[in-house]
Amino acid sequence: MTVDPFVREIVGAQLRSAAREMFVTLGRASQSPIIYEVLDYACGLCDRDGYLVAEAEGIPGFIGTLGHAAQEILAQHEGGMTEGDVYVLNDPFRGGGTHLSDVALVAPVYFDGARVAFAVNKAHWTEVGGVSAGSWSPDTREIHQEGLIFPGVPLYRRGELNDALVELIRANVRLPDATLGDLFAGVAGLRTARERVQDICRRLGVGILADAMRELHEVGAQSALAALRALPAGVYEASDFMDDDGVSDEPVPVRVAVEISPEGMRCDFTGSGAQAPGSVNSTWSSLHAACRSAYKAVIGPDLATTDGLFRPLEIVAPEGSIFNATYPAPVGVYWESSDYATDLVWKALAPVVPHRLTAGHHLSVCGTLVSGPGFILVEAQAGGWGAALDRDGVSALYPCGDGDTRNIPAEVCEHRYPVRVRRYELRRDDAGAGRRRGGRGLVREYEVLCDGASLTASFGRHRFAPWGVDGGAPGSENAVEVLRAGGVVARSGKLSGFALERGDVVRIITGSGGGWGPPA
C-alpha cells in the first residue's frame, strides 16, 4: 500500500458518489417508466483497464456486467480510443451480459491527455426492435429475433455524434422518441461522472487516483478473504428444476457445488441442463453477476463493490449449458436462469450462513409486458421472500436479481397507458409455514381499456415452489392469468403475444416465500 489510507477511503467515497450522481442524472433525464420509476439500470466507474472500482446501488443482476462491458470496449478499441468517445454495447456474448434490452454505454475518461477511468451505465430500454413489442419473449428461438445488437460501436467519436447510428436506431424501434430519450439520458449520466472523476484528478493528481484505485481492489480482495475464512470450509451442493426450456414443458435440471476454502469460493454448475431452445438462457457475464449477488450476500452486503472484491470468486459452467449459453442462443428472459443461479448458491449456503441468508423466495422477475397501439407497459413484479432463522420473510419485495427496483405506481400506469389498476394487495395463502413463515406474494390486476392489446409474460417458479429450510414448508408458485367476462381464459407461467380484448383483466400472482424451521 502506497496511498495514505485516509486518502484512499476518501477517493473511494468520491468515486461511489460520482457513480450515484450518474445514477440520479440518468434517471431524471430518461423517458421510460422502466427506468425513472422502476430504476431498472445501473451505473459504475472502472479504472483505466476496465475493472470496476465503484458502483451505485442498483440492480444486482448488473454487478458482473459493467466491468465486462468496459473491458470488451477496451479490447475492441484501445488503439483508436480518444477523448470524447462513447460506445454502445448490448451483445450478451461480447460483454453485454444480460439481454438486448439492457444497453450499456461506455465512455473513457481522460485527464491531461491520459486515460484515467471508464464511466459505464446500463439501462433497460423499453424497445430495441425485434419480433416482439418490448423486445423480449419466452419463445424466441435465436438472438436475432430479439432486437438490435450493438457489438460495441461508437455513438460519439471525439465528441461528434454518430448520426447514422441514431437514425438506424430510430428506424428499427417501435417507440423511437422514448428509446432515443433513454439513450441520451445515459450519455448525460456519463458526462456527469466524467466531470467528477476529472475533479478528483485536479485536486489529488492522476497518480494518486490510479494508486488509490489499485489499492481499492486489493482492500476488496483482502476483505472478502477475511470473511470467507470465518466460514466453515467445505463443499455444499444444491439442485432444483427450472419450469421449462421456454418452448416445451420439459423441466430443466440445474445444480451447483459451492466450495468454500481459505483461498476463496468456487461455484461449479457442471451437470446443469444444456442451453435451451427458448430464451431462458444466461450468458457467461450474467452468470457472473448472479454468483456475485449471492457471494456478496455471504461475505458482507455492506462491502464496497469493486472487481477486487470478487477476485476470490471462481465460477465454472460448461459452454453450451443453460448458465453459459453460446451464440446464437436466445436470451430475452435470461433472468429465469440467472436468478436460478443465485438461488442455487443461496440454497446451498443458507444452512451454512443462517445469519445472512433466508429460505427460498419467489425468484422470478415475473416480467410482464402489456403492449398495444403506441404503448408498451413493461415491468418486473415483487413477491414473497423466504423466512430467516430469526424472523418472518419479507412480503412484497423484488427478487434477487432486481435489487433496489420499484414498481410503477398505479397513478403512473393509468396516466401513461390505457389500463386501470383494479387490485394491488398481499396474497392470502397458507404457503411457507414454519417456525418463521415466508413473506407473502402479491396479486395485481390490470384492466385493459383499449383494443388491439397483447400480453407477454415470463413467470418462473410457476411449477416448482420456493424451498424451505430446516423443516420449513415450501412457498407458493407464481402465475399470470387473463380474465374475460369474469372467467379465467388463460393461466400460465409464460405467455407470448396473447391477444387481449377491451375489458380483459390481466391478473398477476406472485409467490410467497419458503418457511424456516418446523411449523409446529
Q: What is the pLDDT of residues 142-176, one digit of tens each?
A: 999 999 999 999 999 999 999 999 999 999 999 99
pLDDT at 219 over 90: yes
Question: What is the model's pLDDT at position 97?
Answer: 78
Sign of the alpha-carbon dihedral angle for 3, 5, 9, 12: positive
Local structure of 127: helix, strand or coil: coil
Encode pLDDT of 474-513 as tens digits: 999 999 999 999 899 999 999 999 999 999 999 999 999 9
Q: How far apart are CA 128 and CA 519, in angstroms?
A: 48
Q: Which of 19, 370, 390 shows the shortest CA–CA distance to 196? A: 19
- In the structure, what pLDDT confidence band is assigned to residue 57 with cuts at 50, 70 and 90? confident
Cα gap 209→230, rounded to integer Å = 32
Q: How far apart are CA 230 and CA 85, in angstroms?
A: 45
* Predicted pLDDT of residue 140: 95
Confidence of residue 48 (pLDDT cuts 50, 70, 90): very high
Query: What pLDDT does residue 61 have?
Result: 83
* Residues forming a β-bridge with 451: none
The band of 253, judged by pLDDT with boundaries at 50, 70 and 90, is very high
Q: Does the structure show a pLDDT above 90 at 215?
A: yes
Residue-level pLDDT at 63:
78
User: Alpha helices of 30-133 — where are they, by DSSP H?
Assistant: 33-36, 66-77
User: How many beta carbons lie within 10 A of that of residue 13, not counting itself?
Assistant: 12
Distance CA 453, CA 367 (A): 17
| CB contact set of 69 (below 8 Å; sequence gap of 6+) | 89, 95, 96, 97, 104, 106, 120, 122
Q: Are the beta carbons of 392 and 439 closer than 8 angstroms?
A: yes
pLDDT at 412: 95
Please list, in sequence order, all residues whose beta carbon lies within 8 angstroms of the beta carbon of residue 333, skipping any fewer than 6 positions away.
Answer: 99, 136, 137, 138, 246, 278, 279, 280, 367, 458
Please say whether the beta carbons of 155 and 103 come within 8 A.
Answer: no
User: Coil, helix or strand for 391?
Assistant: coil
Q: Is residue 1 pLDDT above 80, yes or no?
A: no
CA distance 135 to 137: 7
> Grid cell 393461466 — which residue?
491
Q: How far apart are CA 252 and CA 47, in angstroms?
A: 39
Instruction: Provide mean pLDDT across the span 298-323.
Output: 96
Please give the DSSP secondary-structure letter assigned to residue 321: B
Q: What value does the mean pLDDT take over residues 383-387?
A: 98
Query: Residue 514: is its pLDDT beyond 80?
Result: yes
pLDDT at 149: 98
- The model carries a pTM of 0.96
- 30 CA to centre of own chain: 18
Residue 161, strand partner residues: 156
Q: What is the pLDDT of residue 403?
A: 79
Alpha carbon distance 146, 34 (integer Å): 18
Three-class HEC string of 149-177: CCEEEEEEECCEECHHHHHHHHHHCCCHH
* Residue among 445, 508, 443, 510 at smallest CA distance from 475: 510
Rounded average pLDDT over 26-53: 96
Q: How confident is the model at residue 37, as a pLDDT?
A: 95
For residues 88-92, average pLDDT:
97
Q: Give percent of the chain with pLDDT exceeding 90.
A: 96
Query: Residue 59: what pLDDT?
Result: 84
Is 354 or 58 the better-scoring residue by pLDDT? Answer: 354
CA atoms within 13 A on the CB side of 216: 30
The cell for 356 is: 445472512
Is the pLDDT reported for residue 302 higher than 80?
yes
Predicted confidence at residue 486, as pLDDT, reads 82
Q: What is the DSSP code (8-state) at residue 73?
A: H
- Reported as a single tens digit per residue, the pLDDT across 327-353 is 999 999 999 999 999 999 999 999 999
Average pLDDT, the chain: 96
Q: What is the pLDDT of residue 491?
A: 97
Give the relative orientation of helices 206-229 and 5-29 as an angle to the nearest 10 degrees: 100
Burial class (CB in 10 A: 0-12, 13-18, 19+), 234: exposed
In contact, 62 and 51? CB cutoff 8 Å = no
Q: What confidence tens digit (pLDDT) does each residue in 401-413 have? A: 887 789 999 999 9
pLDDT score of 170? 98
Q: How far apart are CA 359 and CA 373, in angstroms?
A: 42
Task: State the average pLDDT over residues 103-123.
Answer: 97
Is 61 within 8 Å of 98 (Cβ atoms)?
yes
Q: Kindly list the distances between the CA atom of residue 444 and the CA atoms of 56, 286, 402, 429, 508, in Å, as whole numbers in the listed order.
A: 30, 29, 19, 15, 5
C-alpha cell at 69: 462491458
Residue 330 · residue 278 · CB < 8 Å: yes
Q: Give the separation between CA 358 and CA 341, rounded to whole angstroms.
A: 15
Backbone φ and ψ of 321, nearest 5°: -95, 170
- How far is it, in rounded angstroms, from Cα 17 to Cα 11? 10
HSE-up (13 A, CA, CB side) for residue 178: 22
C-alpha to C-alpha distance for 233 and 68, rounded to whole angstroms: 30
How many residues make up the chain in this entry? 520
> Could you give the C-alpha distances from 338 to 60, 282, 322, 344, in angstroms and in order?
11, 6, 9, 10
Could you give the 3-state DSSP secondary structure of residue 492?
A: strand
In 10 A of CB 130, how many CB atoms? 24
Residue 408: its pLDDT value, please? Answer: 94
The alpha carbon torsion through 302, 304, 305, 307 (nearest 10 deg) reads -130
